[in-house]
Copies of this chain bind each other. A is one copy, B any other.
Amino acid sequence: MTDYQTIIDTIGAQCRQSKDRGKVANYIPELAKVSDSKFGIHLVDSNKNNYYTGHSDEAFSIQSISKVLSLALAFTLVDNAILNRVDVEPSGDPFNHLSLLEFENGIPRNPLINAGAIVVADILVTELQDPKRDFLQFVRDLTNDQTIDFDKKVARSEKKTGFKNYAAANLLKSYGNLKNDVETVLDFYFHQCSIAMDCAQLTKAFFIFMNRGVCQRNKTYLTLGQVKRINAIMLTCGFYDEAGEFAFEVGLPGKSGVGGGIVALLPGKYCVAVWSPGLNAKGNSKLGMEALEKLTTESHQSIF
């Protein structure tokens, strides 16, 4: 049996000493305040055993990691109808590039780039009675933790500086691929991204993706087909234009956020969350990527 605790302790020790920690995101002012010395890992295996080290219980802004949760909620509401409005191909482009939208008539490349996640947000705004409340409740239920909340300061900060997201939403609107108001959809989207969670909570929330759609409390949220599809999207699209590299070096479905968090999972085996705020040139947590590479190398396990 794999000794996850020893592996994680070794990785934690190495990462804490690392000099080259990447650069904390500064385009959202609130995020820029976080210290790059933070580092935490939390791993839960299929038997719900927990292994962790470092700042694994300190909350941070999950940002784009939330896109997987909103996608999952959308799947439960409209299933494959999502695919009428967003494709599932890797973008091959930096995370904030709008050009493909124009070449492809307003259909975002996949639901994990910003334009695609805004379309998913639009679906939730249409389908949910009280979108922000209901989405938050979904995350709290998945995690079995009613303390999880939006970080209003981060949401406001993002709204004031989110010009690229406004550009994307307006472009979608011009192609008829946004049903609700730009402001309403982006207000939801900025809140969704602002949710604060720690590594332990994230592994609880993502437990369903490694456990055939069933959460830690044995409630079934997704069909097997939906889990397969969401994991496939994470593997091919979860890391902006570094998705191929992540699949190549790590070999797990996962999703990163500019807050420095990454969640990844090995179906049937474990779910893991890492946090280190410094980002590499592609916008993914630098030490987080290295930690996950070490984890799969040391444990000799991957989906491949």
Point out residues on A near B: beta carbons under 8 Å: 87-93, 97-100, 102-103, 109-110, 163-164, 166-168, 170-171, 173-174, 182, 224-225, 227-229, 231-233, 235-237, 241-245, 247-249, 251, 253, 267, 296-297, 300, 302-304
Nearest Cβ in chain B — how far from A87, in angstroms?
7
Docked-complex contact B102 and A97, CB < 8 angstroms: yes
> Known contacts being A90-B243, A243-B89, is A228 close to B304, with CB within 8 Å?
yes
Q: Which residues of B contact A251 (CB under 8 A)?
A: 228, 231-232
Nearest Cβ in chain B — how far from A110, in angstroms?
7
Q: Which residues of B contact A87 (CB under 8 A)?
A: 244
Q: Which residues of B contact A249 (CB under 8 A)?
A: 229
Docked-complex contact B224 and A300, CB < 8 angstroms: yes
Least CB separation from A94: chain B residue:
B102
Copies held by the complex? 4
Indicate the member of A91, A229, A236 with the most B CB atoms within 10 Å: A236
The one of B90, B109, B163 in contact with A170, judged by C-beta atoms closer than 8 angstroms, is: B163
Indicate the member of A88, A224, A228 with the most B CB atoms within 10 Å: A228
Q: How far is the CA of A204 from the CA of B2 in the complex (A)?
A: 31
Q: How far is the CA of A258 from the CA of B93 in the complex (A)?
A: 27
Q: Which residues of B contact A90 (CB under 8 A)?
A: 89-90, 92, 236, 243-244
Nearest Cβ in chain B — how far from A167, in angstroms?
4
Nearest Cβ in chain B — how far from A122, in angstroms?
14
Q: Which residues of B contact A229 (CB under 8 A)?
A: 248-249
Q: Which residues of B contact A91 (CB under 8 A)?
A: 92
Given contacts A98-B167, A253-B304, 16 further A-B contacts (CB under 8 A): A90-B244, A92-B93, A92-B109, A99-B102, A163-B182, A166-B166, A167-B168, A170-B170, A233-B244, A235-B235, A235-B304, A236-B236, A236-B244, A236-B248, A237-B244, A267-B304
Q: Which residues of B contact A164 (CB under 8 A)?
A: 170-171, 174
Q: How far is the CA of A166 from the CA of B93 in the complex (A)?
A: 23
Q: Which residues of B contact A247 (CB under 8 A)?
A: 88, 232-233, 235-236
Q: How far is the CA of A168 from the CA of B302 in the complex (A)?
A: 34
Q: How far is the CA of A153 from the CA of B217 in the complex (A)?
A: 58
Least CB separation from A165: chain B residue:
B170
Q: How far is the CA of A33 from the CA of B102 in the complex (A)?
A: 28
Q: How far is the CA of A160 from the CA of B271 in the complex (A)?
A: 46
Nearest Cβ in chain B — how far from A18, in angstroms?
22
